[in-house]
Structures are given as structure tokens and as C-alpha cells.
Structure 1
Amino acid sequence: MTRIVLVTGGTSGIGRAVAARFAADQAEVFITGRHADTVEQTAKELGVHGVVCDATHPGQVAALSAQLGEALDVLVNAAGGLPDSAPADAPPLEALLAQWHSNLAQNLLGAVLTTASVQDKLTPGSSVLSIGSIGAERRGGSYGASKAALAAWNASLSCELGPRGITSNVISAGYIAGTNFFRGQMTDERHHALVQETHNKRPGTLDDITETAYFLASPGARHITGQTIHVNGGAFTTR
């Protein structure tokens, strides 16, 4: 039976790669993005459905949910990233507040709103996946704090959805090459330093994340829920 998959932030980076992985498995995939042109282009390239939606806007999220069918098998909250900087002439405290509000909105509240809007469509055997970050564990600032909050929210979500046979997990990504996360600011020195932090001495790849997502949404992962799965080559380890 064809699975229905929703990937927010599916026009670039990890979100796009995850959408492509599920589409390759013949799933019916819906992707979202904030800009109509990139949504349309990406949907055409991947052979999926595209919906313009800013996950931080309740009205747009409600409209997105209305466009889906009655059932949803996999939700991937991949929308997020580093927000735009506050205006240079903003007072320091106002700029700081804006930065924190933007990070929390993009990296936490968008996932919360989207999940709430489609929660009733999830059926036994469904999976909710949210993309976290190694920044939640160290040197992450407001971005890391928002990703740490994402993991904390996931634990409560898993407790809520678990009795219905629905799993919920966070994939905490380390340094992943081949994305525009650093917005062109990645230097050779920074790349080398991040690779040296890993145990296997290589950067992460989009495939590392997509295959983890695919597994967590598979029958083999039905007893894995409420977890933060660290995919970082050992740059951050747990006991």
C-alpha cells in the first residue's frame, strides 16, 4: 500500500533529500516551502506534490493539513535552520530578542504547529521525525537551544502518541556536507576542524540522514520512540 509522506522544508538540503528517498520508494510525498517558485520547481524535479507553507504561520499550516487526505503515514519536520539577522540598526536587546524568537519559531514552533495540525491523520504504524542538530549539545547559542527544545518536546510527543502505535523521534545531525546550512561561509579550515571532531574522520552526507529517516519510519523501528538519534560520526557521543 502506498505510504503518504509529508516533509516540511522539502525544497533544499536535508528536507529535499529525505523527500527524494521516500519518493524513490514509491511513496506519495508532499513537500512544503515558503517560496512558490522553489516549491514548484522542486516538486517537479522530484515527482512529488508541492505546497507553499510557512510552518510558523498557523493559518498556512491549517491550510496545508486541509490539502492532505484522511491518513498520513510519515511526517518529517525538516523546516528550520539559521534565521536572518536582525536589522543592523536595531537596539542590541531588541536584536537579541528577535534572534531568539526567530530561532524558536523556525526550529521548534513550526514542528509543533505542523504536528498538531496533522496529528489526527496519523494512524497506527505512523512515524513522526524531526530534524535536530549537534548544536543542541554544544556551542549552539539560540539555534542550539531551539534544537534542544525540539528534543524535549519530542519526548512528550512520543508519550502522547505512543499508545496509538505512533513513533516519534529526533534525528540530530552533525556536520553534513552538501547543504547550504552555512550559507557560503564554510571555510576549508572550518571543514577540516569539523571532520577532525568525528571518529571516522569524514563529514556526514545527506544519505546518512535519509537512510536513518527511512529506517525510523520502517517496521523494523516500531519499538524506537521518544529518542534523539545522533548521526554525527562520533563528534558527540552518548553513554
Structure 2
Amino acid sequence: MSDNSDGTRTAVVTGGGTGIGRAIAEELVRRGLDVVITGRRADVLERTAGEIGARAVAFDAADQASVDAALPHLPERVDVLVNNAGGLADGDGLKQEWLAMYEANVVTAVLVTTALGPRLADQARVVTIGSIAGRRGGGSYGAAKAAVEAWTAELAFKLGGRGITANVVSPGFVDDTEFFGGGMTERRRETLVAETANGRAGTPADVAATVAFLASPEAGHITGQVIAVNGGAHLGR
């Protein structure tokens, strides 16, 4: 895949087929970026790409061989990388659960960012999706999202000499995603909303707007940070 010759900025959004990832990709398209969405489900990706005006490349971000095989189909120059792939993961036993959660949420970001590292343009933006659970607990999922924050802090210094920024956007409870897999009860939803200062659940668009700002040229002096998008459910001060 060749660079854009017209100066259009190029973005890669992992886990871009549904939910928050789709909203991020759609917002970046709206802002004029040439967007490639990735994920494991080719049918979902192709449908979303057609609907929002993006391109689709299917691969498993947690598998090194799959990432390597996808590289010829990914942009040769990347101005924005959004590591959104992740979520809840199951394992057969306690150890396997923790390893699966780490692989789904940390290894995916590390593998894709490392693979695309040589293609990141000067002044590029790397944004990884964290979670309020990384600060408030949440067992193996929260621990994995806390690790995302630690990795990003180091990444910011590794890439900063080229003007590349690396940040985490950390959502709280967000409606209209596949995260809870149909397991969200109305009572639990009411509890989570009641924890916010503004009295509402987050939306994928809330997260997408924050990512889009961090991905913009104007955000060049924000790096190594965790930006909470949680309606005040957890204060980052």
C-alpha cells in the first residue's frame, strides 16, 4: 500500500469494526484522514469500512505471525495509530485468564505499535484505549489496563525525539458497545451512571472526540498522559 501523495494523513485503528473503535474511525474519517480499520472478523470490518468510508485489513493483533502477514496490506506511512483492540478475555483457569487478559489488552498494542514503529511519521500520534478499571481495580482486566498506562509512559520517551506523542484515553462506563456481551443489567447500569458527576453514561462519540483531539496536530505537547473520559466517576487529580 503506497503513501498518500496528496498530503492526507493516514490512520490505523485496531478493533475498528464496532463500538468505540468504529466511532473513532468514523470521526477520523470525518476529519479528513485516510483510515484503515483492523480486527479479526473480516465480515464485520468490511461492512463497517463500507459504511464509514474506511479501508479494512483483517488480522489478529495478539498473534505475531498474523501481524507480520498483514504488514504488506497496511499503510507505508502512519500518522495516527489507535490501539483499540482489547476487552474482556476468558481463560481455562486462573493463570490462563490473567494471561489471556494481558494478551488481549497489552500484547495487541505492543505488537502492532512495534510492527508499525518504522512507519510512524515524524509528529505522528499513538493513542491507546485504557479503562477506568486501570485506576479503580477490576481484577485481571484492570491490571492489564494499568499495564497499558505504564507501557505508554515509556513509549512517549522512546518516540518523543521525533515529535511523536503517545497517550492513553481511559473511558469509564460507555453505552452502546459489545463490552459487556449482553450481561449489563439495568440495576448495574443505574449504579454506574450514579457514580458520574454529570449523571449520564458515556458514549462512543465521547471517546472518539477525545482521541481525535489527541490525534490532531494541535495536541503535539500532550504526551505520556492518561486522559479520563468518565463523567467524573473517577477523578484524575
Contact 2:20 2:207 survives alignment (8 Å): yes
Which one of 10, 21, 32 corresponds to residue 26 of structure 1? 32
What secondary structure sits across from 1:133 in the alignment? coil
Unaligned runs of 5+ in 1: 87-94
User: 1:64, CA displacement in angstroms?
Assistant: 2.3
| Alignment partner of 1:35 is 2:41 | yes
Contact 2:90 2:101 survives alignment (8 Å): no
Separation (CA, whole Å) in 1 of partners of 2:87 and 2:27: 21
Contact 1:133 1:172 survives alignment (8 Å): yes
| Alignment partner of 1:58 is 2:56 | no
Contact 1:72 1:122 survives alignment (8 Å): yes
Deviation sequence 1:131-172 (CA, Å, 0-9, x none): 000011123100000000000000000010001110000000
What secondary structure sits across from 2:130 in the alignment? strand
Give the corresponding residue for 1:90: none
Separation (CA, whole Å) in 2 of partners of 1:43 and 1:148: 31
Deviation sequence 1:61-91 (CA, Å, 0-9, x none): 12222222321100000000001353xxxxx
Pairs within 5 Å for 1:142-161: 142-161=140-159
Deviation sequence 1:179-208 (CA, Å, 0-9, x none): 121111111111111011111111111111
Which one of 121, 124, 131 corresponds to residue 123 of structure 1? 121
Which one of 163, 166, 169 corresponds to residue 165 of structure 1? 163
Amino acid corresponding to residue 131 of structure 1 in structure 2: I
Amino acid corresponding to residue 30 of structure 1 in structure 2: V
Contact 1:123 1:165 survives alignment (8 Å): no
Contact 2:64 2:111 survives alignment (8 Å): yes
- The size of the alignment, in residue pairs, is 231
Separation (CA, whole Å) in 2 of partners of 1:147 and 1:232: 15
Separation (CA, whole Å) in 1 of partners of 2:75 and 2:17: 21
Pairs within 5 Å for 1:95-106: 95-106=93-104
Deviation sequence 1:72-111 (CA, Å, 0-9, x none): 100000000001353xxxxxxxx00110111000000000
What secondary structure sits across from 2:180 in the alignment? coil
Which one of 54, 77, 93 corresponds to residue 48 of structure 1? 54
Contact 1:53 1:61 survives alignment (8 Å): yes
Separation (CA, whole Å) in 2 of partners of 1:74 and 1:219: 10
Moved runs in structure 1, 4+ residues, more than 4 A?
A: none
If the length of structure 2 is used for normalisation, what is the TM-score? 0.95
Which one of 198, 202, 212 corresponds to residue 200 of structure 1? 198
Amino acid corresponding to residue 74 of structure 2 in structure 1: L
The range that moved more, 56-65 or 197-206, is 56-65
Contact 1:11 1:39 survives alignment (8 Å): yes
Give the corresponding residue for 2:3: none
Unaligned runs of 5+ in 2: 1-6
Contact 2:57 2:74 survives alignment (8 Å): no
Contact 2:15 2:37 survives alignment (8 Å): yes
What secondary structure sits across from 1:137 in the alignment? helix
